[in-house]
Amino acid sequence: MSAVNPRRWWALVVLAAAQFMVIMDTSIIGVALPEMQKDLGFSQGELQWVFNAYVIAFGGLLLLGGRLSDLLGARKVFITGWTVLVAGSIVAAAAQSASVEVVGRAVQGVGGALIAPSAMTLLMMLFAHDPKELGKAMALYGAAAPAGGTAGVFMGGVFTQWLSWPWVFVIYIPIGLGTLAATKLLPAVGGRRGGGVDVLGAVSVTAGLALAVFAVVRAPETGWSSMGTVLELAGAVVLLALFLVIQKTVRGPLMPLGIWRVPRLGSANLAMALLGAAWIPMWYFLNLYLQQVLGYGAFASGAALLPMTVLLMIFMTAITARLLAKFGAKPLIGGGLLVLAAGLVWLAQVQPTGTFVVDVLPASLVAALGMSLAYIPAMMAAMSGAPQEQAGLASGIVNTTYQVGSALGLAALTAVATSEGAGKLGDLPALTDGFSAAFIWAAAIAAVGGLVTLLAMRGENAAAPRPGAAQEASGERAGV
C-alpha cells in the first residue's frame, strides 16, 4: 500500500483488540473448567478437550489462514475469522452436552486461525511506510497479548462466579459484532492472483494432530498397548507423514520444506514445542488444584492466578527485549526453560492442606518468570535467520509448533495425572498426588528443553537478528 492511511491508528485499535480477544479466548476458560465439568458431564480426563479442541484447530489451520490471507485479501479473511469465532462462541455458550461444547471450541479455533495471521498482515500494510511507526505499532499490538491473557484470567473468574460459565463465551458475541462493524477502518486490499490453497495439507496435519491427542487421551482407559491405541497412533503418524509428502509435492504448500534450512529454526521450534508442553499443563492443573483441592471459587481462583499473569505481561512488554539485546536468544531460552522447570518442581510439592501463599504463589511466579524469559527469544531465534520474504512463514511455523506442543503435552500429562489419582474427584490426597505427578513431568519436559537448547542451538553469530524482529515476535500469539 503506497499511500499512508490516515485512519491507521484507529485501525490498529481494531487489530490490537482482535489480538487481545484471541488470546483471552484461551485464558478465560481456565477458571470456568470445573463448573463446565459439573454441568456438561466431562470426566476428569475428557475436560482437557475444552482447551485442546481450540488449540488443535488453531494450530493445525494457522498456516492455512496465512495462505488464505495472501490469496484472498487480509481484510476479507479477518472478517471471515471473526464471523466464524462469533458462531463458535454461540455454539459453546449454548452447549448442553460435552460433545457440543467441544465442537463450539473447535469452531472458535478455526476463527482464531483466520484472525491471527490476517491481523498481522493488515498491521504490516498499515505501517510499512515508516519503520519507527511500525515499531510503535508492533509494540502496542504485542502488548495486547499478555494483557488479554491477564484479563481473561480475571474475567473468567468474574463471569463464572457471579453469572455462569456460558458468559465466558457470550462476551465474544457483542465484541465480535462490534469488531465486524469497525472493520471499515481496515484497508481493503485484494489478494494475489494465482496460486492454490493446500487444503489437503491443512486437513492432514490437523487430523493427524487431533488423532494423536485423541489416542493419548484414551490410552489410560484402553491401555497403551491395546489395538485401538496402537491403530490410532499409527493413523496419526500416517497422516502427519502424508502432510510432509504433500508439502514436498504440491505447488503451493503451506510449509515449503526448504524453510527448515533457516539457521536455528529447528532448535527454536523444538524449544517452543517443549515450552508449550510444560507451560500449558501447569496452567491447566494449577486451576484444578486451586478449585478442586483448595476449594477456591471461580473468582478467587482467577484472582490467585493474576500475580503470575501480571508478571508475564510486565516481562514480555518491558524487560525481555532488553535482556535479549544484551545476552542473545540462546541463554534466555535455555535459562528460561530451566527456571520454568524449577518453578514446576516447587509446585509439585503442593499439599492437600496447602495454602496459596506457601504452596502456589512463589512457585507460580518462578514458573512465570521462566516462561517470560523463554517465549519471545524462542520466537526471535526462529525468525531472525529467515529472509524477509520468509519471516511470516517462520513465525507461523513456530507458533503452530507451540500449539502442537501444548496439545500433546496436556494430553500426555493428563494421562499421567489420571493414572496417579487425578480422576478421583473428592479424594483430596489422590487429586494432589495426580496434579503433583503432572507438575513433575512438566518440569522434566522443561528441563530437557533447556538443556537441549543450551547444548544444541547455534550461537548468535549464526544468524543475526533482523531489525524490528523483536517487535514482530512480541506481536505473536502467546499462551497463557
CA distance readout (Å), 177 to 82, 87, 173, 264: 8, 11, 6, 41
Residue with cell 471461580: 298
Q: What is the reported pTM?
A: 0.79
The cell numbers describing 407, all together, are: 496439545
- Tell me the CA distances in angstroms from 459 to 381, 444, 455, one per residue in order: 10, 24, 10
| Of 421, 402, 286, the residue nearest 343 (C-alpha) | 286
- Report helix angle 298-314 to 265-288, nearest 10: 150
- CB atoms < 10 A from the CB of 42, how many? 20
CA distance 379 to 472: 9
Whether residue 162 contacts residue 97, with contact meaning beta carbons closer than 8 Å, is answered with no
How far apart are the C-alpha atoms of 412 and 418, rounded to whole Å?
Answer: 10
Q: Terminal CA-to-CA distance of the chain, rounded, Å? A: 34
Q: What's residue 466's pLDDT?
A: 47
**75, 5 in Cβ contact below 8 A?**
no
Set of cell numbers at residue 149: 491473557
Q: What is the pLDDT of residue 472?
A: 47
Domain 1-194 matches domain 261-480 at the CATH topology level: yes
Q: Report the alpha-carbon distance of residue 75 to residue 95 in Å, rounded.
A: 30
Which pLDDT score is estimated for 3? Answer: 66
CB of 73 closer than 8 Å to CB of 260: no
- pLDDT (tens, 9 = 90+) of the chain, 480 residues, equals 456 767 778 888 888 888 787 777 777 777 788 888 888 888 777 787 888 788 888 877 888 887 787 778 888 888 999 999 999 999 999 988 888 999 999 999 899 888 888 887 787 777 767 677 766 776 677 667 767 777 777 788 888 888 888 998 888 888 888 888 888 878 776 555 556 677 788 888 888 888 887 787 777 777 777 888 889 889 989 998 998 898 888 877 777 777 777 777 888 889 988 998 898 888 888 888 888 888 888 788 878 888 888 888 788 777 877 888 888 888 999 999 999 999 999 999 988 888 888 888 999 999 989 988 888 888 778 777 666 556 667 777 877 888 788 888 888 888 888 888 777 777 888 889 999 999 999 999 999 999 999 988 776 543 444 444 444 444 444 445
Name the grid cell of 428. 483430596
Pick the CATH number of 261-480 from 3.40.50.11720, 2.60.40.1930, 2.60.120.10, 1.20.1250.20: 1.20.1250.20
What is the DSSP code string of 168-236?
HHHTHHHHHHHHHHHGGGS------SS----HHHHHHHHHHHHHHHHHHHHHHHH-TTSHHHHHHHHHH
Q: How many helices (H) and strands (E) does the chain have?
A: 18, 0
Fold of the 1-194 domain: Growth Hormone; Chain: A; (1.20.1250)
Delimit the domains of the chain by residue range.
Answer: 1-194, 199-249, 261-480
